[in-house]
Amino acid sequence: VSPNNLSASMDMIKAAWKKVEPNAEFLGSFLDENIGRALRQEKVMTTIITSGAVIAIVLSCVGLFAIALLVVAQRTKEIGIRKVVGAGVSNIAYLLSKEFLKLVVIALLIAVPIAWLLTSKWLEGYAYRINLTPWYFVAAGLLAMLIAFATISLRTIKAAKANPIKSLRTE
């Protein structure tokens, strides 16, 4: 087999096959083609999972932002009183954000074991696979908390910077 001229090598192999087994169809193929066919389904699945994950993240951020708007609107008077008493922007943002971050932590505590189990089962199908370590899930959890905090902070910091007199006057 000459690596420089693979088609000629394949023709020689086909001819040799026809001499040995004239009634059988030759089904020869290259290893890279076989691997490509085997991994095509994985590529499609990766695209579907990635698209679904992006859509889920965007929808959850929109929902989280809407809930943050609602909570800030309900606690406008409390925010104004805290500002008058001397609370800083970071204190108020922390006060409003910590409730949401608790929910994210609870969601992670539920999701991580399930993700670990499903990923382990999926990886068992491969001869050469990565070893799952907790760092993958720690990184994903920190990223989820960062995205949630950034989404919530957009509204909570704006509310914390608002003039407290306006919020107290309307109540």
CA-CA distance, 21 to 15, in Å (whole number)?
A: 10
pLDDT of residue 113: 95
Q: Whose structure tokens read 């505590």?
A: 109
Q: How confident is the model at residue 115 (pLDDT cuts 50, 70, 90)?
A: very high
φ, ψ for residue 106 (rounded to 5)? Answer: -60, -45
Cβ atoms 115, 32 nearer than 8 A: no
pLDDT of residue 82: 86
Whether the pLDDT of residue 56 is over 70: the answer is: yes
- Write the CB contacts of 60 (distance below 8 Å, at least 6 apart in sequence): none
pTM of the prediction?
0.70
pLDDT of residue 33: 85
